[in-house]
Amino acid sequence: MPAPQTEDNRPERFAAYIAARRFDPPRPLLMRAAALAARKDHALDAGAGALNATKYLLSAGFAHVTALDSAPASQKAAEELPPDCVTFVLSRFEDFSYPANAYDLVNAEFCLPFIRREEFAAVFAALLGAVKPGGLFTGQLFGPRDSWNTPESGMNFHSREEVERLLHGWDIVELEEEDHPGKTKLGDAKHWHIFHILARRYA
């Protein structure tokens, strides 16, 4: 039986997820995005979690990474990283002030679906607006057949057509869809419906 996603149980689940992810390798989508980056001055790791992606971006040559997450466990993990290269911001997506045209790469791994439905459109537009012209965005959105798509989840879900509309005006480098049963990182049964996105903002 899939474990329900609710806003009430989310902080506890996020803390457990961060602990489980601490020593995972970088995801291949991020690695491909970093390899495509023409400049590597500043990246945003949105929903930084265990800071795996932040660490990888530094190792891939990014001079500075801003790591954004609302979980205190993520802030604790950031204390292990050099403060001259990493700026950690403890904030919800909805409350962060996204600087326009600021980042060569914005990475948002498996976190965007947790933005509240009613706030998603504005937050996602601001997130994309933070990418420099010629820069890259990578992340995931969940589809309507995802088993977390319930009224009590407070999450957002999108069809493929909606995802493509959200990326209108961008060069979509990759848009891969997964739709299958599986398990979460915490071992719960779940049906995954995911869109993996790698896109470049036109210069």
From first to last of its 203 residues, the chain has per-residue pLDDT tens of 455 666 666 678 777 888 878 878 999 999 999 999 999 999 999 999 999 999 999 999 999 999 999 999 999 999 999 999 999 999 999 999 999 999 999 999 999 999 999 999 999 999 999 999 999 999 999 999 999 999 999 999 999 999 999 999 999 999 999 999 999 988 899 999 999 999 999 99
DSSP state of 167: T
| Strands 103-108 and 42-46, bridge-based pairing | parallel
Query: H/E element holding 139?
Result: strand 131-142
Q: Which pLDDT score, from 0 to 100, does residue 5 have? A: 67
Are 46 and 105 contacting, i.e. CB atoms less than 8 angstroms apart?
no
Rounded to whole angstroms, the Cα distance separating 72 from 78 reads: 10
Q: Note the pLDDT of residue 1.
A: 45
List domains and CATH numbers for the chain.
Answer: 10-201 (3.40.50.150)
Count Cβ atoms below 10 Å from residue 187 Cβ, excluding itself. 9
pTM score, two decimals? 0.93
pLDDT value at residue 102: 98
Does residue 114 sit in helix, strand or coil?
helix
21's CB contacts (< 8 A; 6+ apart) are: 49, 50, 52, 185
CB contact set of 156 (below 8 Å; sequence gap of 6+): 112, 113, 115, 116, 117, 120, 141, 142
